[in-house]
Structure 1
């Protein structure tokens, strides 16, 4: 009988990862950034087939990945060997030669946003304003470019546009504990949380109409909650919070009139659906402990990138009967049953606050009586 040695630590270091993904408007293609070939490139699945084909050979990780709203091309951002100077390229759906769209050496570009007709690319850049950043719009048809927002006081990032593209959402990042959200309507700049001297943050926001915005903020609270701002009445309303949970991500589906909210509670993430018509709030099962990205398509389908203690990054698709894994990344050569699901335990901070942590208790056959204590950094 052949006997095999126990898994070596090197096998864990060879685990593949997924950095980002996007889904085409017709949901016939899914593109994702992965190191499947040993280096990061874009790969695509022509759904429902899940065997991937390689689209790029740039050997760089991706920062910013979106489809044209008409499904004609892909916009992707790449830096060079981790220098964080991301440039944007156009990529055919079948892959191959990439075309430089936004490319200027030594500049950092982020948050690509395509107009509904796919003819204009909005983005935030360090060019001309390396300290506070500016936002630009590039016409993909004429090649003309205009400045749409000049950053002042703090690094400024364009976030979203109203359905009629007349109002822009942007945020100013003063610090990790102080991020303010604004709406730019013409020359008017509207702060979307009530004026205060107390620092607070806004984590995400979406338009549900030309005048109504839903946002996630911890204004006047310890944890981030769901709120709304009406541009017609200038009214801020706190809508929903959950005890000891902070909402982190917000998605809107117009056709089904519902919001999807990701929250973090201690060491695990949770996923919720909020029906705006019925004012109903329900928790959905999540296929993983940590949710990295959620995409809600026009048809209402959900695609999710996440990871767990015993399973690396994978992409999942939600059907009526539950989640289906579109990728099958595992720790090479290690059965999932050999890995340990951690216990969630709590400890008291210096001020008495109970903090959650993970305790990985070794299987009996591997237990040497020692414990590795790995403290995590603070906010």
Structure 2
């Protein structure tokens, strides 16, 4: 048996940000086992650690025009982010200091004197807007409303803020908030669902470049004239565009094209209105960051066989170089496998995309298969490194990661095919996948396992309760066992956003009663392993404990591991080793390759 620890010890790097003078690059890595801030001085030097906290660092940014760095940090992975200044000696200066509330960073003013953030400190269900002086730490409440509001960016004149109001993860509007008058000019209107993301101001502040799907299936690049409130399309495709960034000289836009879960890096010249692409290994490009001189772009590249590290594109030569090697692990890197992109037909004729990984040196015979279902559900499984799945490939399992209906990346229509009372159609997509795996994927029908986290955990529980004859083993990670109890107990602000996707107890309670796995535990046939963090603010740990209690009462084979110092995500290395070692032993026991 391979050592799963080696796969879990593959480190990741993210959040690259250049210093204002371009002399260094800061980023976050879990190289020590916990995400911390690090710094690299040049492309041929080893990074040095610059933060030393007992909790994970969530993000890192510079205050405009200064050497001051601001970080976000929570406690016990509870997602109640607090803001701090990170001093050069690694010590922290608290800014928000309200640990019972969430703080979402909105950037710093052009003069570096103020920062902006959103918080639910007034009411747990609503996010108001604040600015804070970096020197005096004075906090001013600048906007109050009953809704989910956020600061996206400071206006170039420093007197206004670009803000948003979100109605769901797929629907928001943008406005300009005048700090002197307190009035907001909403520059987009809500007429049909539309998402506006990654906005960038022109130099004079009269135009806004943004990724949006206003009136379209996919996210495209558009320019919004803030004076006339008109929209001009610059780049539209039959794929979503992502991660828009703008060069400091305001001449180039950089973004990626999400082609079925794989990224293509793209540059757009505003002077010539032309695009250019750059080459990378297969994977997903995120967190594009221009250097201060506009000649380089740092970004994260994460691929199935190229785990997450920081890369850099030279715009003069269009050549790329890998800046960090924190993910380099010789014990596993030669074993990593890239997937095949497949499509299969579901019960109603819908084509469903999936990534299928086959183990190396497989020539004949039936395979045990692990099906991994993503969360969201408004999300997308991508071609990225997953230590857990790569370990099973090394053990002779095949792995399939589907993007069932309801996933993003394939247009608005596809994303809404599982809304509210169409929920179980996405579960049927998994049944069709099981058929495809047996008929065309060399799968052993007696050795099909299903794994999912968060909403994917619901999909696991729904599959083994509604279609128990298909699955031989199941692992539920922080999953929903009852939409009714989930909506009753999740964070107040989150409930409103999730009702747009799941429905409400008032209107759809009877449907929840019919589909909720909690009410169908007697139908489960396969053994179940369940993992959950006690501090989970998204899916309360009670969602797991209530279904575990039901199964234990029936003496059904169920194992449960509760992590007292984790939340919705497992961050600490020791806990990941515990969780995934147990998962490996569980599957090896029931469907061993």
Q: TM-score of the superposition, structure 1-length normalised?
A: 0.90
Note if 1:135 corresponds to 2:132. Answer: no
SS in 1 for 2:151: strand
* Separation in 1, partners of 2:76, 2:53: 10
Cross-structure match for 2:151: 158
Which residue of the partner structure matches residue 143 of structure 2? 149
Could you list the runs of 5+ residues in structure 1 that have no partner in the other structure?
A: 1-5
1:1-379 residue pairs with structure 2 within 5 A?
7-93=2-88, 95-152=89-146, 154-185=147-178, 186-196=181-191, 198-208=192-202, 209-243=204-238, 245-255=239-249, 257-300=251-294, 301-319=296-314, 320-330=317-327, 332-349=329-346, 352-364=349-361, 369-370=366-367, 371-377=369-375, 378-379=377-378
> SS in structure 2 opposite 1:128?
strand
1:110 is paired with a residue whose SS is: strand
Deviation of 1:352 (Å): 4.3
- Cα offset for 1:280? 0.8
Larger mean CA deviation between 342-351 and 34-43 belongs to 342-351
Shift >6 Å, 4+ stretches: none
Please report the RMSD computed on the Cα atoms of aligned residues, expressed in angstroms. Answer: 2.3
Comparing 368-377 and 224-233, the one that deviates more: 368-377
Aligned residues: 370
Asked whether the 8 Å contact 1:193–1:219 carries over to 2, the reply is no
For 2:56 and 2:137, how far apart are their aligned partners in 1?
27
Give the C-alpha shift of residue 48 in structure 1. 3.8
Q: Whole-Å Cα distance in 2 between the matches of residues 366 and 101 of structure 1?
A: 59
More strand by share: 1
Q: Deviations over 1:225-245 (max 9, x none)?
A: 1122212112222332012x1
* Cα shift readout 1:94-145 (whole Å, capped 9, x = no counterpart): x322111221221211124112222211111221243221121111223322
CA distance in 2, matches of 1:366, 1:20: 41
- Quick check: 1:250–1:262 contact (8 Å CA) kept in 2? yes
User: Unpaired runs of 5+ in structure 2?
Assistant: 379-593
| Bigger-Rg structure (1/2) | 2
Bigger relative contact order, structure 1 or 2 (CA pairs below 8 A, ≥6 apart): 2
Which SS does the other structure have where 1:33 is aligned? strand
CA contact (8 A) 1:64 1:112 kept: no
The structure that is helix-richer by fraction is 2
- SS at the partner of 1:364? coil
Q: What do residues 53-108 of structure 1 show as CA deviations (whole Å, max 9, x unaligned)? A: 22122132222311122342211111111011111111124x32211122122121
